[in-house]
Amino acid sequence: MPDTAVLDRLRQVRGFVLDMDGTLVMGDRNNQGLVPLPGALDLVPALVDLGFGFCVYTNGTVKTPAQCADALRRLGLPVTAEQALTPASTAVDVFLERGHRRVMVLGGKGITEPLEAAGIETVPPLRGTDCDAVMAGWYRQELSFEALEAACFAVFDGAEFYSASQSLFFATAEGRSLGTSRAISAVVRDVTGCEVTVVGKPSLRALQTAARRLDVSPAELAVVGDDPELEVPMAHAGGAFAVAVHTGIGHAESYAELPAEVRPHLDLPDVGELARLLRS
């Protein structure tokens, strides 16, 4: 049972940011065949019943936010399109703020559709194409040397470079799989020497996107996830309440040797334990 100070801090939470893969659901490396993870069918209804605002933020860009919500609803998790966020959601905020109106995308409709819906033109990775920015996301089957070359020359010509994620791995039913954003970014950064701006987790911008969606401050949020390099660091960066679960990348020993100030406030086997704490 968590100590009194931790429970008191949990009572101050006004909204929840939930990871998707490895926390609520698990699928294959192509983000298909999703099944609920232990406790997921308890936690989301508990948040609804208790009146907590929440959103699901996944670093995956295979699906649009609306498609993510639809996939979760099919599993019995009551998530609306407005409650689903991806790095493309944060990219919209960042690109509009910085005046990027034409973006070269190494990714699919999971990125291009949200950008275009916000009035941002997207272009494919073809050498010689003018753009303000380049964004790398899920681009596993389509990735080619020509696409990498196009991204590099766009950066040489002045485009800024953005990555959905810099995670080495993501959790799947088949074990850890390599993240394409990290691999693409490594090539472009090595060739051009550019700065890579991350718009997904664990960036503070991702947490701020979730906070705006829920109309609370970052410090009033709880961030729940399975990856020691994503959700917990993001929570600490924004002063949020950090909850780690052991159903994906992380496990019971993942945080044991970390300094106390960067450990999760709650370290739980699965999200069902969080549901039980909230209901009690």
Average pLDDT over residues 54-78: 97
Give the tens place of pLDDT for each residue, 113-146. Answer: 999 999 999 999 999 999 999 999 999 989 999 9
The predicted pLDDT at position 200 comes to: 98
Question: pLDDT band at 171, cuts 50/70/90?
Answer: confident
User: Domain 88-198 belongs to what architecture?
Assistant: 3-Layer(aba) Sandwich (3.40)
Is pLDDT at 172 greater than 90 in this prediction?
A: no
What single-letter amino acid sits at 184? I
User: For residue 21, what is the DSSP state?
Assistant: B
Domain edges within the chain: 4-86+201-279, 88-198
The predicted pLDDT at position 111 comes to: 98
Q: Say if 4-86+201-279 and 88-198 have the same CATH topology.
A: yes
Considering the chain, what is the average pLDDT of its residues?
A: 94
The predicted pLDDT at position 29 comes to: 67
Give the tens place of pLDDT for each residue, 4-20. Answer: 999 999 999 999 999 99
The predicted pLDDT at position 32 comes to: 72
The predicted pLDDT at position 170 comes to: 74
Q: What is the share, in percent, of the chain residues with pLDDT greater than 90?
A: 85
Task: Report the predicted TM-score, pTM, of the whole model to 2 decimal places.
Answer: 0.94
Q: How many angstroms separate the CA atoms of 154 and 257, rounded?
A: 42
User: Domain 4-86+201-279 belongs to what architecture?
Assistant: 3-Layer(aba) Sandwich (3.40)
The predicted pLDDT at position 1 comes to: 66
Average pLDDT over residues 58-66: 96
The predicted pLDDT at position 253 comes to: 85
In 3-state terms, what secondary structure has residue 251?
Answer: coil
Q: How many angstroms separate the CA atoms of 234 and 224, rounded?
A: 10
Closest among 201, 238, 227, 229 to 91, alpha carbons compared: 201
Question: pLDDT band at 250, cuts 50/70/90?
Answer: confident
In 3-state terms, what secondary structure has residue 279?
Answer: helix
What are the DSSP calls for 69-126, one per residue?
Answer: HHHHHHTT----GGGEE-HHHHHHHHHHHHT--EEEEES-HHHHHHHHHTT-EEE-S-
